[in-house]
Structure 1
Amino acid sequence: MNAAATTVRLADYRRPAFLIPEVVLDIDLQSEDEARVAATLSVQRNPDGASSSSLVLDLDEVSVESVAIDGKLLPPERWQADGRYLTVQDVPASFRLDTVSRIHPRQNTKLMGIYTSSTGFFSLCEAEGFRRITPFLDRPDVMARYTVTLHADRERYPVLLANGNCVAQGEEGGARHWARWVDPFPKPSYLFAVVAARLDRSQDSFRTRSGRNVLLQFFVEPGKLDQGVFALESLKHAMKWDEDTYGLEVDLDEYNIVAVGDFNAGAMENKGLNIFNTKLVLARSDISTDWDFNFIDRTVAHEYFHNWTGNRVTCRDWFQLALKEGLTVFREQQYAGDRYSRAVARIQAVRNLRTGQFPEDAGPMAHPVRPSAYQQVSNFYTSTVYQKGAELVRMMHTLVGPAKFRQAMDLYFREHDGQAVTTDALVAAVEEASGEDLSQFRLWYEQSGTARLSVRDQYDETSQTYVLTVTQSCPPTPGQPTKKPMHMPLTVGLLTPDGRELPLRLEGEKTGRGGSAVLSLRQETEVFRFIDVPVPPVPSLGRNFSAPVIIGYPYDDQALQLLLGYDSDAFNRWEAGQRLAMDLLLRGVADRRAGRPVQFPDYLAEAFGRVLADAQKDPAFAAEALTLPAEIIIAERLEEIDPQAVHEVRFAMRRFLAERLHGAFRSAYDLFATPGPYSPDAESSGRRALRNLCLAFLMDLGEAETRSLCVAQLAGATNMTDAMAALAALASCDCPERRPALDGFYAKWKDEPLVVDKWLSTEALSRLPGTVARVRELSRHPAFTLKNPNKVYALVGSFGVNQVNFHAADGSGYALMVELALALDPINPQVASRMVRNLERYKRYEPARRELMRAALQTIAAHPGLSRETGEVVGKALA
């Protein structure tokens, strides 16, 4: 029988009946198979909570051996432990609760709580993993100060870590040792962490602006210490940036980062003890790409920024997850803009939103940034919470301006430090600091779906008045058939027909607004009148992607080319090129499905050629501007998705551009070689990005000369960025060089797990026929295991986003996903549910694939013993 689903609702939130201000843990890691956890909890009845004579604590796969109150063991009739709760009856108003429990780390394949990896014991507690360590009120609004003592074998596990500062350590009998850690700041249980392992260590220090020296330590698997240098430098950059930008200092005497290969998440912001998946923290030029370095820098910063936006101020309940994640992603994006190209960082953020969050908003799992209900909280670590949540913070930043937003953040920390609060606390702080009424803005947290703006304009030559009429709407989503108008910023500019920027002045205003204006939309339809406009302008709408919406305006091809060439807003220059290509791609898909020949106009090649000719000014931007819209983004614009048609038309456009711009691509490939030693800096990575994009376009033509060039690049690459670009191009080329290149790459790197993951992903993303069979073959390869989330994401996750082969017309891709997901579900249901989500939007596809996907979901739904995590996804998809 499948696991029963229980729906948790925001409306049912009640404050905890008890508070636990102090926690003392003694964790004896006796063996990989068993650990003894003794917990002492200082428990107080919550005067603001519901009255209860019994204390009910959460637990999961924990064996409770004894329970005592104020030092006195309780008889069995006073307490009861079932599979989910420890209930202690007739408790006083204030008392000390002692429990002794047993856990089994080696058998913990869910990787939640304390589990084993190759080098020792590690933990992950967000969202509900602490209950897998000891009975507790495992909810974020129960905040406690923790003292933790760890015991383990000295030789096998020489490193003992927990949250906070190490206050004592020593030796004990039997060749064992111990360490005691004290975290001086109250935190929720999801931020608890321990590590006991054999790890190599590097250390550094950071001097805060107030003059304190903080010890920084980085722990990695033996032999990989050189791969942690970059992350340690990134940590210091992040600490300095947070001081300079928000006035926030690191607050502990030591700050530790640990890398582990078996980890469900990318990283975890545990107070003072950040635990990272190795793929998001280990880096070296020969095994890591420019993307890896950039993402590692940002992820290290993200987890550190959580120290204040998530740890010192945390979320009251899991419905408020965006309070910490959306705000911290926004801060991470600000950091990336300051560290790299601001325009490119913004473009990449929006591309991620459109490929991940927009489809989510249009599917059966659509939910508001602050959900109203969930069955499994692990299913709500979504692009909506993270990426769209960040866009909500960015909109407030845009509406009130940087200075007032900073004042709001100061107020937020001052009023809520050490508290568990709701998203409304952040919005209220922005309101109070700025004087802006954001009551209507709160709808963004309550309503799901991607809003649409329909924009129409009119120019009056006689009065030199230009009128913009903006109408907003939002389509129905599950549980929300109708939506209210939302408050949002729309940043606009106006260009003359020859590309000059016009000064803006709204009717009724005494002074102008310069070249850009932030229009504040509140009503379903708003009208804005600009005066002193000498010529009919071309509007630049939604500059810097000022709101997470889809803007509809009847641009013609000439206007898009003008914006691509002259707009002062770099994001909108990129957007114009994307829209120019998108309009032609959609026409091509329609022609392909109607049996008409697919053709593209010369002006497309001319527009892209101008970008390429101007690429020396900013190669990184040029690489983004020359990248066509992804297949999933094209699919989102169709009423009925035909993935084969989308793939063929997009590939045809790539070949068209490669043919027309062959000489320019070849010249740029030679021109943008990066001289000197490898560096992941923005300028060097931008040159490599453009050069490798040129190679990819040329490889689409399949010419022998280009194939030789690609093979030579792979063989002679001095960095993983160039090697992977060549390998990916060969992986999708039906040529004799392909198989030797892929096999040789694996043979060279088979002992580097992170590089093997890249190889698995490259194989799974190939557009060639036979990829389904190859992924099935690789699922049995010695390099792959369902027990390691990184391997699953690399192979199965990559295959799930392969729009042409996952959606193979015969349904073989769906059948393979069902097979792998069902095998994974009893091992790691969190990861399995994420794989199943590749099937959830079946209703959007053409009839034949729609039925095949629905049958695949029904097969999963009927499987005996299906986890609650996977069951929720399948149930909502089939509803």
Structure 2
Amino acid sequence: MNTEVKAKYLKDYKKPAYAIESVDLLFELFEEETFVTNTMQIKKTDASVNDLTLDAVNLELLELSLNDLKLQESRYIIEEEKLTVLNVPDAFEIKIKNKIYPQDNTELEGLYKSGDIFCTQNEPEGFRSITPFLDRPDIMSLFTTTILADKKKYPVLLSNGNKIKCHEDFKERHGVTWHDPHPKPSYLFALVAGNLGSISDEFTTIQGNKVALNIYCDLGNEQKCHHAMHSLKASMKWDEEKYGRAYDLDIYNIVAVDSFNMGAMENKGLNIFNSAYVLADTDTATDANFMGIESVIAHEYFHNWTGNRITCRDWFQLTLKEGLTVFRDQCFSADMNSAQVQRIEDVKALRERQFVEDASPTRHPIQPESYISMNNFYTATVYEKGAEVIRMVYTLLGEKNYRQAMDLYFETFDGQAVTTDDFLWAMHECGDFDLELFKRWYKQSGTPRLHVKESFENGTYSILLTQKIPDDVDGKKQKPCYYPLKMGLLDRDGSEILAKTLIISKESETFVFENLKEKPVLSINRDFSVPIIVEYGEAQFAFLMKYDTNSFTQYEATQNFALRTISEIIESSAINDDFVDAYGHLLDLDVDLSYKALLLELPSVSAVMQLQKEIDFDAIYDAQDKLLLHIAQKYKEKLLDIYKQNHLPASASLEAKYIAKRAIKNRALKILSILKNDEVAELAQKQYEESLTMTDRIVALDVLENLHVSYAEVALQDFYNRYKDETLVMNKYFAILASSSRYDVLERVEKLQRDKVYDEKVPNLVRSLVGSFARNHKHFHAKDGSGYKFLADKIIEIDKINPQIASGLCGAFKVCDKMNKHNQDLIKKELSRVISTQGLSKNSFEIIDKILK
């Protein structure tokens, strides 16, 4: 076990002893090596400090000068991850030249190559592997960057800010100088060089400034960038209208690359994207892909103000920019599409990932107190739960006061590196809520529960609400939370009596409603106003499924009634006829079809397992299948009618009504597939062959894979032959096969690793094949431990290539302490083997160490 790994703590934060006022960078790019010359103007901010210690990883130093004086080795010390210059003056210039090897960088942090493209990823601590620096977010500097490279191989040379000079006075090489007029931390530095295709447009800001917009990609993919460009312009317009924030440079560049650890990166004026979140057309991208691109494009653009202009003081404040910006992109997507569908999708994602994280040994607050590897804290908790905390602030303040508070935040902290407390101060200045109590959301971990007990007597209805706050990961007691709880009361005809937002602040409190003619039906946590689990044994789910006037709580009632029904099947095999009847009512609802498709979706395995003290995946799958089969048999004709009425194979339109039709008919097809008959198999086969959209093809392919082996083999081979040169589409292919319910799935996954399309150095491919198998609970958690051994081997192997991707795979073992003893022992055996591996990264060590404890 790696005993040298040390944690960093929020309590140890100290202000920097130096300020780097300006940075002048020169990159000389070659095929085998890159030379970086870094000239910095530095001032002391703490006169008691004599030496300058810079962060530096794998430093190959060539030259070091202080105020134009070349330093001898006695004046500096190179240690592991540090360069210390001794006895520096109060103000000085330091010049450093070093050599790096981007072509050998498989970790995809710092400067690396994605195919033939040079690109960077510096958040959180990648810049130190490019050049020595005070690599922390509270060091904000003015950057000027010159890039020199081969003219034919790298005609496009990009960096942050505005282009200020071109250098063409070389025979075979050329250069470009970029200057960013806005101070920024090093994690926002970006560089791209390559032979790239592009599309261009422009946007005029509310101040009348014209901004040149460019999206770069691999040559030949230009036509797949238009949806991203449309999304970018819509984002710029929305941010002006909703937040009064205009763009602040002459140019905005986006570059799509295949090898990228994250979804995208908001580098100032030069966003670098995983190509999955840029490239799309109806032949290769699903409706969900188009929606995802719109959301991520917006997210990175919104960071220009919530992340770049105002950034984090330290990495413990990560949710300051990420939680806020996720909330902003969720609101944008709700405005661009169906608000009710967007809210449900956001909550689904939260529960699938963050609630599971909250119940695991790796749980943490949205503002962690310590970390070993900062890469491990780009989590659903920091992002998605962080967004829910911002949403609660929005609910507490109301739209008008929230906008005033955001204006105050921007005006007060523009150009600064700040904390979550600074943000909450601005919110509190414009709103009335208990700031100290609300801060517990930032400091406490786990998902709170709210127990509901109701009573009705003589026209008075009362609800007793009791908070159940989980202990933290170390077993320490945590305190009650403060939050807004939206609720409503319905009469027996389904009409709304009242809608109200309660303020919850105590461990237990009672709310009373008088002068009622009859006992009302409670609709609680409307719009999912607070990220909690509601314990409400008397909830009238069937009634709420039929009559609730709030779309989210109608969906919630359906999910909760289904969860209760599945749990009953696990315990007694009996199917609740009341749920099945209420489900039939949903089939006849005249509502938005995208919303209806969500209503008809049964809870996921992840949702069911969260209810079990000891997880039994076989029992969960069997119960799900039994309920689904009963529904499909009883409502077969209705489901077939829904399918046939909405199946338009010749339509590839992205208009909302056609997306909705595809959503509902594909939901019906998936439900019908449990019947495992030739009629449904033929529907799926025909859909695969005739439909124009990837949405329809991929659903049909998934259905065939799990329904009809011979049809599936023909369709899969056709799909492979058609798309084998389209990496993004092959991600879908690998994911379908790795998620299959067929008995030989692990054997097929192992074989697919040898496919010429698969490349372990490309994170998207690893996530689609290995990551999808790790989420295939039935086979991953096989009793013989084969799934665990496979993943453990992959973690060891990939950790040597890309520790960030390896540590992400470690997360599949987070459910260890909720498994039966047999599976727990198998998991611990494999994780003990991984953690004892020589040279294991701190990324993987941190996750595994928490699980084993």
TM-score range, shorter chain: over 0.9
Cα offset, 1:3, TM superposition: 7.4
Alignment match of 1:208 (pick from 205, 209, 212): 205
Q: Determine if contact 1:3/1:865 at 8 Å carries over to the other structure.
A: no
DSSP 3-state at the match of 2:430:
helix
Q: What's 2:38 paired with?
A: 39
Q: What's 1:801 paired with?
A: 775
DSSP 3-state at the match of 2:519:
coil
C-alpha distance after superposition, 1:784-813 (max 9, x if no partner): 121110111110111111111111121111
Q: 1-side partners of 2:719 and 2:783: how far apart?
A: 31
Q: 2-side partners of 1:716 and 1:877: how far apart?
A: 48
Q: What's 2:390 paired with?
A: 393
C-alpha distance after superposition, 1:492-544 (max 9, x if no partner): 100112211103xxxxxxxxxxxx11111111111111122221011000000
Superposed, which structure 2 residues align to 1:715-864 within 5 Å? 715-864=689-838
Q: 2-side partners of 1:773 and 1:821: how far apart?
A: 18
Superposed, which structure 2 residues align to 1:434-453 within 5 Å? 434-453=431-450
Superposed, which structure 2 residues align to 1:145-294 within 5 Å? 145-294=142-291
DSSP 3-state at the match of 1:230:
helix
Q: Per the alignment, do residues 755 and 125 of structure 1 end up closer, same or farther by CA in structure 2, a change over 3 Å counting?
A: same
Q: How many residues align?
A: 853
Q: 1-side partners of 2:749 and 2:466: how far apart?
A: 47
Q: Determine if contact 1:362/1:477 at 8 Å carries over to the other structure.
A: no
C-alpha distance after superposition, 1:432-477 (max 9, x if no partner): 011433211000000000000001111122xx21111111121123
Q: Determine if contact 2:357/2:814 at 8 Å carries over to the other structure.
A: no
Q: What's 1:537 paired with?
A: 520
Q: 2-side partners of 1:168 and 1:679: how far apart?
A: 43
Alignment match of 2:543 (pick from 559, 562, 565): 562
- Structure 2 letter corresponding to 1:571: F
DSSP 3-state at the match of 1:369:
coil
Q: Determine if contact 1:672/1:687 at 8 Å carries over to the other structure.
A: yes
- Structure 1 letter corresponding to 2:209: R
Alignment match of 1:430 (pick from 427, 435, 451): 427
Q: What's 1:13 paired with?
A: 13
DSSP 3-state at the match of 1:805:
helix
Q: 2-side partners of 1:11 and 1:150: how far apart?
A: 40
Task: Report whether the alignment pairs 1:611 with 2:586.
Answer: yes
Superposed, which structure 2 residues align to 1:485-634 within 5 Å? 485-503=480-498, 516-555=499-538, 559-591=540-572, 598-614=573-589, 616-634=590-608
Deviates more, 1:736-745 or 1:442-451: 736-745
Task: Report whether the alignment pairs 1:713 with 2:671.
Answer: no
C-alpha distance after superposition, 1:193-246 (max 9, x if no partner): 000111001100001111111100010100000000100010000000000101
Q: What's 2:117 paired with?
A: 120
Cα offset, 1:388, TM superposition: 0.2
Q: Determine if contact 1:733/1:768 at 8 Å carries over to the other structure.
A: no
Structure 1 gaps of 5+ residues are 504-515, 592-597
Q: Determine if contact 1:502/1:533 at 8 Å carries over to the other structure.
A: no
Cα offset, 1:767, TM superposition: 1.4
- Structure 1 letter corresponding to 2:520: P
Q: 2-side partners of 1:611 and 1:555: how far apart?
A: 22
DSSP 3-state at the match of 2:843:
helix
- Structure 1 letter corresponding to 2:533: I
Q: 2-side partners of 1:266 and 1:773: how far apart?
A: 30
- Structure 2 letter corresponding to 1:864: Q
Cα offset, 1:481, TM superposition: 2.0
Q: 1-side partners of 2:552 and 2:848: how far apart?
A: 37
Alignment match of 1:317 (pick from 314, 317, 320): 314
Q: What's 1:512 paired with?
A: none
User: Normalising by structure 1, what TM-score?
Assistant: 0.96
Q: Determine if contact 1:673/1:688 at 8 Å carries over to the other structure.
A: yes
Deviates more, 1:477-486 or 1:714-723: 477-486
Cα offset, 1:275, TM superposition: 0.5
- Structure 2 letter corresponding to 1:7: A
C-alpha distance after superposition, 1:90-126 (max 9, x if no partner): 0011111110011000111101011012232011000
Q: 2-side partners of 1:328 and 1:302: how far apart?
A: 6
> What value does the CA root-mean-square deviation take over the aligned residues?
1.2
Q: Determine if contact 1:584/1:600 at 8 Å carries over to the other structure.
A: yes
Q: 2-side partners of 1:5 and 1:214: how far apart?
A: 46
Q: Per the alignment, do residues 753 and 232 of structure 1 end up closer, same or farther by CA in structure 2, a change over 3 Å counting?
A: same
Deviates more, 1:697-706 or 1:188-197: 697-706
Cα offset, 1:552, TM superposition: 0.6
C-alpha distance after superposition, 1:26-60 (max 9, x if no partner): 1111x23210100011111114xx83211000011
Q: 2-side partners of 1:113 and 1:672: how far apart?
A: 48
Runs of 4+ in 1 over 6 A off after TM superposition: none
Alignment match of 2:471 (pick from 472, 476, 484): 476
Task: Report whether the alignment pairs 1:63 with 2:65.
Answer: no
Structure 2 gaps of 5+ residues are none
Q: 2-side partners of 1:590 and 1:829: how far apart?
A: 42
Q: 2-side partners of 1:112 and 1:172: how far apart?
A: 32
Superposed, which structure 2 residues align to 1:82-121 within 5 Å? 82-121=79-118
- Structure 1 letter corresponding to 2:7: T
Cα offset, 1:172, TM superposition: 3.2
Q: Determine if contact 1:262/1:790 at 8 Å carries over to the other structure.
A: yes
Q: 2-side partners of 1:51 and 1:744: how far apart?
A: 70
User: Normalising by structure 2, what TM-score?
Assistant: 0.99
Q: What's 2:460 paired with?
A: 465
C-alpha distance after superposition, 1:573-630 (max 9, x if no partner): 0001001101011112223xxxxxx23133323222221212x531001100111111
- Structure 2 letter corresponding to 1:502: I
Question: Identical aligned pairs, as a percentage?
Answer: 40
Cα offset, 1:676, TM superposition: 6.2
Q: 2-side partners of 1:177 and 1:438: how far apart?
A: 55
Deviates more, 1:448-457 or 1:740-749: 740-749
Q: Determine if contact 2:405/2:429 at 8 Å carries over to the other structure.
A: yes
Q: 1-side partners of 2:611 and 2:306: how far apart?
A: 36
- Structure 1 letter corresponding to 2:524: L
Q: 1-side partners of 2:508 and 2:87: how far apart?
A: 60
Q: Determine if contact 2:527/2:550 at 8 Å carries over to the other structure.
A: yes
Q: 1-side partners of 2:183 and 2:836: how far apart?
A: 44
Q: 2-side partners of 1:734 and 1:425: how far apart?
A: 58
DSSP 3-state at the match of 2:581:
helix
Q: Determine if contact 2:396/2:431 at 8 Å carries over to the other structure.
A: no
- Structure 1 letter corresponding to 2:578: Y
C-alpha distance after superposition, 1:324-350 (max 9, x if no partner): 000000001100110111111000010
Cα offset, 1:677, TM superposition: 4.0
C-alpha distance after superposition, 1:136-195 (max 9, x if no partner): 000000001100000000100000000000011121324100000000101111100000
Alignment match of 1:384 (pick from 381, 384, 398): 381
Cα offset, 1:734, TM superposition: 4.8
- Structure 2 letter corresponding to 1:269: E
Cα offset, 1:735, TM superposition: 3.3
Cα offset, 1:486, TM superposition: 1.1
Superposed, which structure 2 residues align to 1:669-680 within 5 Å? 669-674=643-648, 677-680=651-654
Q: 2-side partners of 1:61 and 1:231: how far apart?
A: 37
Q: What's 1:28 paired with?
A: 28
